Amino acid sequence: MSPEILSIIGILLGLAVLVIFALKGVSLYVLAPLAALVVAIFSGGNILTAMTDTYMTGFANFMKNYFLMFALSSIFAKIMGDSGAAKVIALKVAALVKKAPPKYQRLLAVLSVGIMTAVLTVGGINLYCCVFVLVSIGKDLFEEFDLPWHLYMTSSLGSGSFTMTMIPGTPAIQNLIPVDVLGTQATAAPVLGTISTLICIVLSVVYVKYALTKCDKRNEHFLPTGSRIQASSPAEGASTEVPKINLLVCLIPSIALLIALNGLKLNAVVALVVAVIVALILFGKNLLDNKVNLSNCFAEGIKNAIMTLLNVCVIVGFGSVVSSTAGYTAIMASLDKIPGPPIFQLFIAVNVAAGVAGSASAALGIGMTMFADKFLAMGLSPDIIHRISVMSSGGLDSLPHSSGTASALGVAQLTHKEGYMHVFWLNTVIPMIVTAIACVLASMGVC
């Protein structure tokens, strides 16, 4: 058996170990290195080098590149939570929801967090920032309606699907990667993108309704899946009373973050520093009134960030080992030999790349490098290649070994067993169905 085939078997086994046992509730801290070890053994290289160099380099690089962003995002979320600002926003949203007919209130409460996530991501806020910014609001809202906390992961409908890949002009990095290669605009294939967005939203709402109905039939409540997030907030000794803060004032720090990122084009870390300072200025008195120790508030925020970041780093390390193998190279090289109509070749190739890499951005980097010229030569328009490749990258990128999935679950303090299924349906199954429909529409001339 050739080294490439053995290596591919190792990659598949490693992914199987990671996926199956993560869904059974086994810690990623154990699973990711173990899965990387399986890949390294089957790939025939120096196992010690694979684990101490390749794995740890991927781990350390992600920690180095994202620690400050995670820490500042978490501190920002902690200030919003401990000051009561998040509760004010949640209760205002709850008040709006309660104006709807009673039979729709719980559904609207669940969907509202996804809507807020969509607004932030369309506004250009990084996914890693979004999950920290909204978790305190979501926690208070779900407690208010006694919703099962694992349903919080349905908020991924606003981050990892239509706002990332389908809406024409979305500022998501995935939508910008093809621009330089293909000479397209971020609004490429606007009709196709708009139709896809609408279909995705409808299917996502149907899924959320189904998931909520299933939970109601089981008589599920905020606890027990919300026990860990409940225990971590508010800060020890803090008042649980709702502060008298104007809603607009509560929104100012998030608005400041949006302006700093998109209006002033500041670096994400600098923009988060601005948001934290604005939050401290506005809510410093509330923190004191709530008997919050500011030092402890910062320390808890950083601690939460580190725990989440470690979840992501162990997964990134696994991805680094996979991408260094002969099997990975063979898989990538075979993607341009997929049979069938060109547009479906593109759909399959980018999805496979996303699944193996565990990253939409990585899949697009591979796709644009390896496939762009091929599909242009086969007669596909640059706009269609842009939109279909971007949409395809948002399918298998959200498997259990995805760093984004690990981050979102970590911030929500949920295990894969508790919350991943919602991510799977909303960020993998539905986007793939919508992209397949888009391929059919594109082949009929819709652009």
Enumerate the domain spans of the chain.
3-443
* Structure-block tokens of residue 208: 């959320």
The residues of the chain scoring below 50 in pLDDT are: 237
pLDDT of residue 202: 98
pLDDT of residue 418: 95
pLDDT of residue 243: 66
Give the Cα separation of 187 and 179 in Å (integer): 10
* Structure-block tokens of residue 249: 């004032």
pLDDT of residue 267: 84
With CA atoms as reference, report the closest residue to 210 among 434, 432, 429: 429
With CA atoms as reference, report the closest residue to 439 among 176, 371, 447, 169: 447
* Structure-block tokens of residue 346: 């593109």
* Structure-block tokens of residue 304: 């939460």
CA 207 to mean position of chain CA atoms: 18
Query: Using CA atoms in the order 260, 261, 267, 272, what is the torsion angle rounded to 10 degrees?
Result: 70
Sorted by sequence, the CB contacts under 8 Å of residue 232 that are 6+ apart come out as 300, 304, 413
pLDDT of residue 406: 86
pLDDT of residue 149: 97
pLDDT of residue 204: 97
* Structure-block tokens of residue 307: 């725990």
Q: Hey, what amino acid is at 38? A: V
Give the Cα separation of 25 and 314 in Å (integer): 16
- Backbone torsion region of residue 368, taken as left when φ is above 0, otherwise alpha when ψ lies between -120 and 50, otherwise beta: alpha
pLDDT of residue 10: 95
pLDDT of residue 370: 76
Sorted by sequence, the CB contacts under 8 Å of residue 190 that are 6+ apart come out as 168
Give the Cα separation of 294 and 380 in Å (integer): 57
Q: Which helix (H) or strand (E) holds 75?
A: helix 56-82
- The whole-model pTM stands at 0.80
pLDDT of residue 233: 63
